[in-house]
Each structure stands twice: as C-alpha cells, then as structure tokens.
Structure 1
Amino acid sequence: MKTYRKILLAVVCLLLFFLLPVGMAFANDHGVNWFKRGEERQIPDPEGGAEMTQRIPVSNVVLQQRYPDTVVLAGPTTANRIALTFDDGPDPRFTPQVLDVLQEYNVPATFFVMGRRAERFPDLVTRMAAEGHVIGNHSYSHPNFVVEDDVALLEQEVLQTEAIIQNLVGYRPRFFRAPYGFLYNELVEKLAELNNTVVAWSIDTLDWRERPAEEVAFSVISSAQPGSIVLMHDGAEADGDRTQTIEALRQIIPTLQEQGFEFVTVSELIGIPYEK
C-alpha cells in the first residue's frame, strides 16, 4: 500500500512539473501578464514574444549584400556622425525618460514604434516628433515574420502602422525595422515594393537582456565609429525593464560628444527621406 502511494505521489509531481510551465506560458501568451499603470492602461506585449526567445533567420548582413538599395546597416564613414535608434515603444514607463535624456543633451534619435502601442499612447508619439525625432515603423503587433512565413501579414502590419503614424505626425514613415530584425528575401522584396527602407544596425547593445548600464554603455563607446547605427530599446514586455538603457544614455552621449561624434537621425545619417 505504501508503495502504491509513493508511485501515485511521483506521478502527481511529474504532472505538475510538466503542466505548470504550460499553464504559465498560456497565461502569458493571452495577455494575462500585461503591465498596468494609472487608470488600468495596458501595454500590449509583442505578439512574437520577448526578444531573447527568437531564432536567428537570414543575417541582415547577407540581406544588405543582396538588397543594397533597400537594407541599411550603417551610414557613410566619411563624417563623424552616429545615430541612436530605439525599438518597441512607445512605453509610458520608459519612453518619457529616454526623451528627457535626449532633450537634455539636445540629441535627435530615430524611434521605431509598434502600431498597437502608438494607438494606445499617441501623446508619446507626437512628443517624439515635436522634439525633432524621426518615427519609423516597427510593425503593428510585433510578430515574428520569419516564423509566420506570410508576406501578406507583413504588408498588412506595415500599412496599418503607417496609417496610425500618419494620423499622429502627418507622414507615412519610409523607415522600417522588422521585429527582432528577422526577415528573408521575399519579405525584403515586398518592403522594397512598398517603398520602405529597411534599417538594421551596426551596434547591438543587447539592452533587452537588462545588462548593467555600464555594459550597455561600453558596448557603444568601445564600438562607435563614423556611420554607426546603434540599436537600443525604449519599450519592453510587461515584466521588462529599460532603466539600464536610460542610465547608459547618460554615459554614452557625453562621452561620444567629447570624442567628436555628432548624433543625428537615421535620415540625416544615410541621406534618405524619412517619409514616403
């Protein structure tokens, strides 16, 4: 009898071990864990999941070689200029603080916004534009287009977000950055057909891993060179934190300015209009 009870207890423990993570994943996938702020305002999480959960598709370096007129990794090396870019906003927890730091140092940047978040927090998008920053397209719901393998979905997400941004700031953005930076040939070809320029990056801060501010800053300061495009994030998933990004900016900007770098928007860096 005791043996039977031990076996039964072992089976129950095994079931809990395997089913509990599934239940937690189900809750997260269905928005249960959304961050709430103020009057129950919810920040939509990326449809494709957190940055660190994704697989690597066709390299942006390869795509840039195949589509040099569409995909951009960096700007010219002939001028001591650098561009800061921010993904996944607007986020009321972190975007205002990023904007405050940029305003303090009089530095323009390029923000790749999620359409669904722009709908939820339109004042942050209009503030970006009013303070001289360029708005780019980061899809509507942040899906993983490589996993979805659906060119029509890409077109839908791009056009939907374009319409939202145009309604807020008065122009349809030309610059597009794919969620997770994930694309393949047919997706790039569709973006070219839609008159988009795909903006990747040459410096990845990996700030989404919530690295210490000193590490985020060092990744930029040690790698900066003329024409660099820096990838950072002003938005996060429900339980994410971008405080380190904000703190790192206070180290990156004055240090590189002392080294003679000028911070510009992606449009100024590569000489391509930011609107269609």
Structure 2
Amino acid sequence: MKNRKRIYTSISIFLLFTILFACQNTNQGGRNFQPQSLEQTNYSQEGDNDYLDDQPQLVGGSERDVREPHPVSNNKLQKEYPNIVVLHGSPMKNQVALTFDDGPDTRFTPQVLDVLAKHDVKATFFLIGSRAKAHKEITKRIHDEGHAIGNHTYWHPNLPKEDLGRLHWELTETEQVIMGITGFKPRLFRSPYGALNDEMVKMLGEKNNTVIGWNVDSLDWKQQGADIISDNVLSNVGFGSIILMHDGGDWSMDLSGTAQSLNKIISKLKKDGAKFVTVPELIGVPEAK
C-alpha cells in the first residue's frame, strides 16, 4: 500500500511540473511557438506517396474546407488601413496582376511557370515557407525567371484563430527561408484564406509589410476545370485587377486546370490591350523590405 501511494505521489508531481512547463512555454503571446519541423512531419494520407513524402501540408486545412465568403471584411480592413492593405491597383491603367498562392508545388508550379514563360508574362507567387524550403530549386526558378515573391506564412494556418505570436513566427521564419534562397526578405504578405484581423494588420504594418488581397477570385481551388476558371477571371477582371489563383494546395487537390486556363486568360486580356505586371509594379512598392 505504501509503495502504491509513493507511485501516485510521484505521478502527481510529474504531471504538475509538466503543466507548469507547458504554461511557461506558451507565455508572451506565443513568441515561443515552435511547430513541428519538416523532418518530423508525418503524412499518413492515402495518395501519391512520393509526393506526400516531401510536400508540407496546410495546417489550417484545405482551401475548399476553410474558405468562406467574406465579401466586405477585407474591404473594411483596406479602408481602415489604406497604407497597409491593398486589394487592387489603379483603375486608370490597363494593367493586371496574376498571383499564385500555396506553392511551390512539384506538380503544378512548373506547369504554371511554363505557360507564363510561353506568353512572356511575369506574375507574383505567394510562397509557403515550409514548401519553399522543401523545394528550393522551384523557388529559385520563380525568382530567376523574373517573377515577384511574397510571404504566405510557413505552415498556412488560419491566422485569426491564432495569437500574434504565431503570426510573428510564421512571418519571420518564412522570411528567413526566402532570404536564404533569393537573397531578400519579401515585403508583400498574403494571409492564408485571406483571413486577418485588425491587430494582425497593425503588426504587419509595423514590420514593414504590405498586405496583398485580391479583387478577382478565379475559384480554381474548387477544381471546376479550365473553362470555368478562365470564365471566372474574364467575367470579373478590370483595370488594376489583382487575380487570385493557386499553384499549390491540399495534397488531394488537382490544380492542373489552373495552368490550362492561363492560355485563354492571357491571350484574351492581351488582345484587349492589358499589360501583365507583378504586384510590386502594379501598386508601386518594392518587392523586398
């Protein structure tokens, strides 16, 4: 009986110290946040095992599972913080900016880059830090071919559900990865799912970031096929448009329709006299901090 009491007492003390240690590591607004490393990530989903072995996933969930219509939320933030949040360029110039989120992806980013090169068009890629680290050669290709690069966090969390410490870690960790590959820290930042709150916008402004939204959504993440994707864009595009597309996503998504749609989108807009520019060119800000 005495031995049993000693065991219970030892277990209680161990649990108490474990709780105290955990609390200590989560103080200061999450500044000590340390998500699992790429090497520790375990992918157990069924699918292309070779792809899953080196493709960091979206911790916030698939775009199709998380994205909800928020028709005015980013417009409110843009109105409140006009020097930080940008949703489009000048309506006086026939310029448009193609943007691609959630890469680099070994399956779809090269397809997109090939089409852009074919049409001699420059675009802007918002990269996930963990994927840029895993696919350095594709990241380098994006940069070397003259496309602009923005920060799309390291693990793609749903930021409004996190604290400011998480945003700080995601931002700076991705900056370091991109800096190591391209030689600069990106000024442009796009939040996963386009979701932000006031406190986060203020922090990003203090960190000398420009928050980039969009005013044309291709809805390519719904995987509806190239014709529907191109129609979504061409039916809504105008002078100064920032067009949202994806060259990566959840492991189960087939985004080949994105690259296929670009031929029609680019050809039609060029015929209408539109000039394709990067986001830094569209809004007149530097690509680097």
Shorter-normalised TM-score: what interval?
0.7 to 0.9
Tell me if the contact between 1:83 and 1:109 (Cα under 8 Å) persists in the aligned partners.
yes
Q: Does 1:124 align with 2:142?
A: no
Q: Deviations over 1:145-191 (max 9, x none)?
A: 1122x011001100000010011001100000000000000010010
Partner of residue 262, structure 2: 249
Q: Which amino acid aligns with 2:114?
A: D
Q: Does 1:153 align with 2:162?
A: no
Q: Deviations over 1:79-132 (max 9, x none)?
A: 100000000000000000000000000000000000000010000010001000
Q: Does 1:108 align with 2:122?
A: yes
Partner of residue 37, structure 2: none
In structure 1, runs of 5+ residues without a counterpart are: 1-28
Q: Does 1:87 align with 2:87?
A: no
Match of 2:55 among 30, 43, 54: 43
In structure 2, runs of 5+ residues without a counterpart are: 1-40
Partner of residue 96, structure 1: 110
Say if 1:117 and 1:39 are closer, same or farther in 2 by CA, change over 3 A: closer
Say if 1:40 and 1:270 are closer, same or farther in 2 by CA, change over 3 A: closer
Tell me if the contact between 1:201 and 1:228 (Cα under 8 Å) persists in the aligned partners.
yes
Aligned mates of 2:53, 2:42 — CA distance in 1 = 16
Partner of residue 10, structure 1: none
Partner of residue 179, structure 1: 192
Partner of residue 76, structure 1: 90
Aligned mates of 1:214, 1:39 — CA distance in 2 = 27
- Of 214-223 and 67-76, deviating more is 214-223
Q: CA deviation at 1:54?
A: 1.9
Q: CA deviation at 1:38?
A: 5.0
Query: The residue matched to 2:268 in structure 1 has which SS?
Result: helix
TM-score, length-scaled by structure 2: 0.82
Q: Which amino acid aligns with 1:219?
A: N
Aligned mates of 2:51, 2:45 — CA distance in 1 = 16
Aligned mates of 1:222, 1:42 — CA distance in 2 = 37
Alignment coverage as a number of residue pairs = 247
Match of 1:31 among 25, 43, 50: 43
TM-score, length-scaled by structure 1: 0.86
Tell me if the contact between 2:63 and 2:250 (Cα under 8 Å) persists in the aligned partners.
no
